[in-house]
């Protein structure tokens, strides 16, 4: 049948943890403890990657790299990356269970999609041990996809590599990339979808790319909300997203639109 067969959702910032705050706070802390003050924007920019790759990406930023050289008198090394990650993982694990609340409308949307016969997969930048905390906590709150894989299952080749998506397709028996929709809240999510050849969708409200807590977003005026939504949408589209949605509640309708495109012989990146 020529229509969407499955949806693959990111975890933090897409399905749970509005604003993706669990990891970003720890990134800020471990760099501060190393004597480097990074900005929230720098901490968020590589979000969605495997976390050790995220640290390496931050150290590779010109400003952060320069601060490191100024502090330590040399460029960062792979040992520095490993040392920072050794601080990161236990700190994240200690607080991770507090950041497993499903984002509004996710549970209801997944129910709608399942009622339409779609499979629900997932990918993440978290490791398997991190997901051992997230999965049961999220399940206890009503969110549980049909399949979970971490970069540990792809020899640490996380986003933007497409391999976690391919594992989902195999496990869920999804027959073609163009019958799959990937939804995420970071640029690396978008790139993962593009590289896999699936329909790549950015979700805006609650995303790491937007970077606001639910309270901060709700406190904005209507004009301010429109501004941050527009900026986030532009960022996703500029990085290759086929579509954006403001919230997960829009996903079933979008899948209906994609099914029409598929019936017309249109595939991702050929619209």
Tell me, which fold does domain 22-98 have in CATH? DNA polymerase; domain 1 (1.10.150)
| Mean pLDDT within 49-65 | 97
Among the listed residues 216, 176, 219, 184, the one whose alpha carbon sits nearest the alpha carbon of residue 200: 184
Q: What number of other Cβ atoms are within 10 A of residue 256's Cβ?
A: 12
b/e 189-226 (16+ beta carbons within 10 angstroms → b): bbbbbbbbbbbbbbbbbbbbbbbbeeeebeeeeeeebe
- Give the residue numbers annotated as catalytic, written as ranges: 10, 51
- pLDDT for 221-243, tens place per residue? 999 999 999 999 999 999 999 99
Q: Homologous superfamily of 6-20+100-263 in CATH?
A: HAD superfamily/HAD-like (3.40.50.1000)
| Mean pLDDT within 209-226 | 97
* Model pTM score: 0.94
Q: What number of other Cβ atoms are within 10 A of residue 173's Cβ?
A: 9
Asked whether the beta carbons of 30 and 64 are under 8 A apart, the reply is no
Radius of gyration of the chain (CA): 18
The response to whether 66 counts as a known ligand-binding position is no
- pLDDT for 163-190, tens place per residue? 999 999 999 999 999 999 999 999 999 9
Give the confidence band of 269 by pLDDT, cuts at 50, 70, 90.
confident
The response to whether 10 counts as a known ligand-binding position is yes
Give residue 1's pLDDT.
Answer: 76
| Mean pLDDT within 29-57 | 97
- Domain spans in the chain, listed from the N-terminal domain onward: 6-20+100-263, 22-98
Task: Reply yes or no on whether the pLDDT at 271 is more than 90.
Answer: no
Q: Which residues have C-beta within 8 Å of that of residue 178, sequence separation ≥ 6? A: 197, 198, 199, 262, 267, 268
| Mean pLDDT within 98-119 | 97
How many whole angstroms separate alpha carbon 38 and alpha carbon 34? 11
The response to whether 12 counts as a known ligand-binding position is yes
How many whole angstroms separate alpha carbon 28 and alpha carbon 88? 10
């Amino acid at each position: 049948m020529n229509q969407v067969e499955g949806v693959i959702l990111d975890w933090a910032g897409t399905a749970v943890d509005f604003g993706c705050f669990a990891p970003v706070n720890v990134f800020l802390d471990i760099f501060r403890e190393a004597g480097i003050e990074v900005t929230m924007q720098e901490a968020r920019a590589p979000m969605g990657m495997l976390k050790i790759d995220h640290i390496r990406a931050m150290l590779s930023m010109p400003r952060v790299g320069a601060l490191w050289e100024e502090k330590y008198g040399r460029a960062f090394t792979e040992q520095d990356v490993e040392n920072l990650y050794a601080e990161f993982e236990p700190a994240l694990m200690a607080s991770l269970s507090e950041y497993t609340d499903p984002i509004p409308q996710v549970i209801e949307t997944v129910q709608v999609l399942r009622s339409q016969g779609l499979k629900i997969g997932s990918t993440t930048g978290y490791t398997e041990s991190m997901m051992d905390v997230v999965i049961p906590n999220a399940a206890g709150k009503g969110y549980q996809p049909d399949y979970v894989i971490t970069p540990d299952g792809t020899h640490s080749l996380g986003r933007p590599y497409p391999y976690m998506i391919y594992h989902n397709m195999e496990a869920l028996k999804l027959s073609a990339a163009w019958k799959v929709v990937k939804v995420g809240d970071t640029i690396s999510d978008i790139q993962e979808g593009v590289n896999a050849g699936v329909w790549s969708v950015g979700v805006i409200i609650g995303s790491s790319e937007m970077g606001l807590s639910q309270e901060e977003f709700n406190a904005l005026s209507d004009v301010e909300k429109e501004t941050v939504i527009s900026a986030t949408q532009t960022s996703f589209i500029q990085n290759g997203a086929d579509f954006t949605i403001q919230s997960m509640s829009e996903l079933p309708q979008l899948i209906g639109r994609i099914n029409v495109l598929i019936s017309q012989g249109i595939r991702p990146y050929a619209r």
